[in-house]
Amino acid sequence: MTVFDQLSLDGLRFNLTSEKNSAIPLDFFTPPSANSASFCLPNHSTTVRRPFPLSHGTTTLGFIFQGGVIAAADTRASAGGLVACPAVHKITPIHSHLVVTSSGSGADCMLWERILTREIRLYQLRHRRRLSIRGTAKLLSFMLHPFKGTEVCVALTLCGWDKESGPKLIYVCSDGARLQGDIFSVGSGSPYAYGVLDGGLKWSLSKDEAISLAREAVFRATHRDAYSGNNVDLFHITAQGWSQRKREDLKEEYYRDMEKRSKDRRGKIKRE
């Protein structure tokens, strides 16, 4: 049973898999037909009213440097103006050498991460080799394509290490974009994070410098963006796999920053 057998959108079923039980449903090989659920269905005269605003708003980032890949994200899930949960995991490991940072609608991200994990594991079992990061991104992009135009909102960054080609960072979103690059930041706090990252990022950073740059970028973004905050999760991916740092409260970072500023000011006043 593949994802398309189980998902049913108001009566439309995607039930196209080849008889040989291959990993990828036949739906992938053709652009979506007129049956796919890309617009409001004719049965509804008005759309169903949402019970509450969906959780959106985040700061996630990833970048590649000489020591591997760093993935960082805040931990706030907001639903409109409410902090629905202050301790969400926005970075999820898929396998030992791949993590995915999520942004957009929290529920959609959780679902699609589970689907992706399952499909990657199935691929590994069927073909006796691990799918490359680029292949994973393409698979995810093609799985999301039938839902383009619907309210599905996911913007994921796959951060991983391929045995053959080294560190990889690929951005996939529900609009259909699929971009490979060296630095990505996604979410409502991303412009603020880009401001810090673009200034400080160099290939030759050490591991500690890279981690503190990532932490600083998330901190500055959470300071300005109302929809990001609480804690920061940091992952480091190398050829040996991913490793996760202990979750850090950004309140501590804020106090450290305040302390540093007041010390600078005291130093300046003494000199004057």
Partner 1 sequence: MEYLIGIQGQDFVLVAADNVAASSIIQMKHDYDKMFKLSEKILLLCVGEAGDTVQFAEYIQKNVQLYKMRNGYELSPAAAANFTRKNLADYLRSRTPYHVNLLLAGYDDSDGPGLYYMDYLSSLAKAPFAAHGYGAFLTLSILDRYYRPDLTRDEAMDLLKKCIEEVSSASISRRFHLHYLHLFNLFHL
39 touches partner 1 (CB under 8 A)? yes
Considering 58, 75, 92, 222, which one is annotated as catalytic?
58
DSSP per position, 51-99 = SSPPEE---EEEEEETTEEEEEEE--EEETTEEEES----EEEEETTEE
Rounded to an integer, what distance in angstroms lies between the CA atom of residue 81 and that of residue 83?
A: 7
By three-state DSSP, how is residue 187 classified? coil
Candidate list 59, 60, 101, 190; residue touching partner 1; CB under 8 A: 190
Residues 47-106 interacting with partner 1 (rule: CB under 8 A)? none
Residues 149-168 interacting with partner 1 (rule: CB under 8 A)? 149
175 touches partner 1 (CB under 8 A)? yes
The residues with which 234 forms a beta bridge, in sequence order, are 72
> Closest separation between CB of residue 2 and partner 1, Å?
20
179 touches partner 1 (CB under 8 A)? yes
Burial of 197 (0-12, 13-18, 19+ CB in 10 A): buried
135 touches partner 1 (CB under 8 A)? no
Kindly tell me which of 123 and 192 has the beta carbon lying closer to partner 1.
192
Whether residue 58 lies in the annotated active site: yes
Kindly tell me which of 116 and 211 has the beta carbon lying closer to partner 1.
116
**Rounded to the nearest 5°, which phi and psi values hold at 134?**
-65, -40
Q: 């996911």: which residue's tokens?
A: 154
Interacting residues toward partner 1 by CB under 8 A: 31-34, 36, 38-39, 141, 145, 148-149, 171, 173, 175-179, 181, 184-185, 190-191, 194
Residues marked active site are found at 58
